[in-house]
């Protein structure tokens, strides 16, 4: 199991590596993301896409299709760990608490490009290293 941050969801739409990894490992690894991570990706993608001259509707459709691989976790499920997550993120980006709370709840690592999760007590993987996690998960 692995919890995805919004920046990884955005990379799944804009990049090549993240969608390839999701497709390759979805049969052996369960992917989760809090509902607000999807909302954050939907909020930021139009500006990013417009700046790049990329049509917005197909990209948002691709983001929506990620629900086939990435299970959305609703607020009611992860909110029970809000206080704990906020305490662990103190002095950092507190808006990231839903991702950390989801990881704490699921007892699994986070896939992110954000350093705010370092030192919070949850393993953190970046895209350039996450394949090591996938390969070890497939061997368990």
Domains in the chain, number = 1
Contact 101, 34 (CB under 8 A): yes
Give the predicted TM-score (pTM) of the model.
0.92
**Tokens (6 digits) for 127:** 């895209």
pLDDT for 138 equals 58
Q: Which residues contact 64 (CB under 8 A, 6 or more apart)?
A: none
Task: Classify each residue of 19-55 as buried b or exposed e, where b means 16 or more C-beta atoms within 10 Å of its C-beta.
Answer: bebbeebeeebebbbbbbbbebbeeebeeebeeeeee
pLDDT for 94 equals 82
Question: What range defines the domain where residue 128 resides?
Answer: 2-138
pLDDT for 20 equals 96
For the chain, 140 residues long, give each residue's pLDDT as a single digit of tens. Answer: 999 999 999 999 999 999 999 999 999 999 999 999 999 999 999 999 999 999 999 999 999 999 999 999 999 999 999 999 999 999 888 889 999 999 999 999 999 999 999 999 999 999 999 999 998 875 55
CATH number at residue 129: 3.40.50.1010
């Amino acid at each position: 199991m692995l919890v995805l941050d919004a920046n990884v969801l955005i990379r799944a739409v804009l990049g090549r590596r993240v969608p390839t990894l999701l497709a390759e490992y979805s049969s052996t690894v369960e992917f989760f993301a809090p509902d607000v991570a999807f909302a954050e990706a939907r909020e930021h993608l139009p500006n990013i896409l417009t700046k790049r001259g990329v049509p917005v509707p197909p990209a948002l459709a691709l983001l929506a299709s990620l629900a086939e691989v990435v299970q959305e976790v609703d607020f009611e499920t992860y909110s029970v760990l809000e206080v704990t997550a906020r305490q662990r993120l103190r002095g950092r980006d507190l808006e990231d608490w839903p991702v950390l709370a989801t990881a704490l709840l699921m007892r699994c690592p986070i896939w992110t490009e954000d350093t705010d999760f370092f030192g919070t007590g949850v393993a953190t993987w970046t895209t350039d290293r996450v394949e090591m996690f996938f390969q070890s998960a497939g061997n368990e």
